[in-house]
Amino acid sequence: MFRNQYDTDVTVWSPEGRLLQVEYAMESVKQGSACVGLRSNSHCVLGALKRSVSELSWHQKKLLEIDDHMLVGIAGLTADARTLAKYMRNECLHNKYVYGTPMPPHQLMADVADKHQRTTQTYVRRPFGVGLLVASVDPLTQKPHLYQTCPSGNLYEFYASAIGARSQSARTYLEKHHETFGDASRDDLIVHALQALVGCVSGDDELTKENASIGIVGKDEKFTLLEGDALQPFLDRLELKGGDDDEEEAGDDAAAEAEPMET
Amino acid sequence: MASSGSGYDLSAATFSPDGRIFQVEYAGKAVENAGTVIGIHAKDGVVLGVAKPLYHKMIVPTTASYKRIHTVDVHAGVATTGFLPDARVLVGRAQEEAADWQEHYGSKVPPHVLADRLGHYVHYFTLHGALRPFGASCVLGGYDVDTKECGLYMLEPNGAAYKYYGVATGKGKQVAKTELEKLNLHKQDAESSMDVATAVKNVAKILILLHKENKDSDGKPMELELSWICEASKWKHAPIPKDVLTAAKEWANEQLEEEDEDDEEEEEAMEEG
């Protein structure tokens, strides 16, 4: 009936020293729609692909504001992410109220990671089924930081990363270009984020101003969300693949297809 | 595995018929598969070292979130390995214990007390079915402000906290142990006893050796994180200065190359003989 007997409880180690329930929770991150993040020396940008459950529904929100200097992108169970976002917002408010300064991102991220860890060691709660990409600017140094959390409680800081369904293609794109991100302008970062997202769109779909979403924080820029018409100018700068019209236009230019646009 | 399927290995609260607690042993497996940690108690201080493989191209290597050696109090530090989220919890607990002691007694916690209390904490998680044993291990180095002596301890997932002259845990611990035993660390009164400067070099050497011997990691980038408590650090737990670390790495690589050449010569001599 079961694949094995070690995979139904979080508090049980497998003979190989693995926690299968935690690994399964990490699978749910891969089910969520893609989310990419990258940073320069002044800005941190998140991009996400929004899903809609039907023709008549809105697209599900993917980027959540935490504070003026912080936002999260989510992949996995949205409801779990909202619980975490609520916690993070509270911590930020609390820090501001008690100490009079914005929450230092690395400190909050360590707390969030510990919150994840607790669910993996006690019987009462299941692990969170969501991965977060957190874009932030350290209020003290004004330097941008991009963090990634994982249901296991692991925490990473990246120059660029992607999570969610078909995110491998985005990571490949980012790995190829991440060395140029340091000095990139804010707008270039946005285009890179969108370009990375293009590969994450499922077969018969394409990246549009409806399903794309971009969030920015920067040295002198508070949380900004770009959606809908505000995104169109950036989308126009992309080389879309798979789109019906664009395929005909770009299809002839094989070189351009192989080498994604440098901006 | 013989234990698998018997039903005696599904909870930390269950003994097997021959008196073992398999869940704790499985937690130990999580440590065996993770990065190597080495600690040396030299005659004039302690050294902690970790080898960190850089798995992702885009990870920020110098960030606090990628730290594996943590300071728990001014005079004490831990090097961690295993399931890292668990390890972070141990670090947090160690920091709490150190702060509690200071609040109660107004002095710095002696290393043996810190190790003992951490041992109790880890042990608690091996008693209950609703909890899971820690899948992490840590090497604790500390300085006793009253006796002016250093101590080196290792915490295991079963709650044991033994004192050591030299210790290794994590992937490749057997090789590391063999190398440590060659250093005669237990003969601290002898003339040949090791000082911290030499210990730093040897920790770097063993970690680099392990990295090179491991087929999965060879050629991939790796970062060494080393810390010490000694006179040079004013008996505080501190990362090893960059120039010392660079020198240690160079020495280690030279030594390893020399040893390789010696091995080859020996082999040739054998073939001729």
- The CATH number covering residue B132 comes to 3.60.20.10
- How many domains does one find in chain B? 1
In a domain, B104, yes or no: yes
Nearest residue of chain B to residue A156 (CA atoms): B65
Q: Look at residues B213, B169, B171 and name the one whose alpha carbon lies nearest to residue B38.
A: B169
Asked casually if ipTM beats, i.e. exceeds, 0.90, the reply is no
- A contacts of B133 (beta carbons < 8 Å): 13
Asked if residue A263 has pLDDT above 50, the reply is no
Q: Is residue B192 in a domain? A: yes
Q: Is B107 inside a domain boundary?
A: yes
Asked whether residue B3 is assigned to any structural domain, the reply reads no
Average pLDDT over residues B245-270: 88
pLDDT bucket at B191, cuts 50 / 70 / 90: low
Q: Which residues of B touch A116 (CB under 8 A)?
A: 85
pTM, whole model, 2 decimals?
Answer: 0.87
How many CB pairs below 8 A link A and B? 115
B86·A117 Cβ contact <8 A: yes
- Across the interface, whether the CB atoms of B57 and A10 are under 8 A apart is answered no
Min distance B47 CA to chain A CA atoms (Å): 26
Residues of B in contact with A174 (CB under 8 A): 58
* Cβ-nearest to A157 among B1, B66, B89: B66
Nearest to B23 by CA among A11, A225, A217, A94: A11
User: Which fold is adopted by the domain A20-49+59-247?
Assistant: Glutamine Phosphoribosylpyrophosphate, subunit 1, domain 1 (3.60.20)
* Cα dihedral: B82, A18, A132, B137 (round 10): -20
Kindly state whether residue B200 falls inside one of the protein's structural domains.
yes
Q: Let me know if residue B177 belongs to a domain.
A: yes
Average pLDDT over residues B12-35: 92
Mean pLDDT, chain A, integer? 89
Instruction: Identify which of A114, A121, A174 has the shortest CB distance to residue B131.
Output: A121
Structural tokens at position B207: 């970690």
Calculate what percentage of chain B has a pLDDT beyond 90: 73
β strands within A8-110, DSSP E: 35-39, 43-49, 63-67, 70-76
Average the pLDDT over A115-123 and give the result: 93
Nearest CA of chain B to the CA of A7: how many Å? 10
Using alpha carbons, list the distances in angstroms from residue B227 to B33, B49, B241, B253, B257.
Answer: 23, 6, 9, 19, 25
CB contact under 8 A, B29 and A152: no
Residue B1 domain flag: no
- Pick from B8, B31, B65 the residue to mutate for testing the A interface (most A CBs within 10 Å): B65
Decide if B8 is inside a domain.
no
H/E stretch holding A236 reads helix A232-236
Residue-range definition of the domain harbouring residue B179: 17-263
Would the CB atoms of B58 and A155 count as touching at under 8 Å?
no
Q: What pLDDT score was predicted for residue A107?
A: 95
Which range, of A35-49, B48-62, B148-162, averages the lowest pLDDT?
B48-62
Domain regions of chain A by residue span: 20-49+59-247
Interaxial angle between packed helices A78-99 and A105-121, expressed in degrees from 0 to 180 and rounded to the nearest 10 = 130
**A72, A64 Cβ separation under 8 angstroms:** yes
Q: Tell me A242's DSSP state.
A: S
Report the C-alpha gap between B73 and A111 in whole angstroms: 20
DSSP characters for B120-184? HHHHHTTT-TTB---SEEEEEEEEETTTTEEEEEEE-TTS-EEE-SEEEESTTHHHHHHHHHHTT
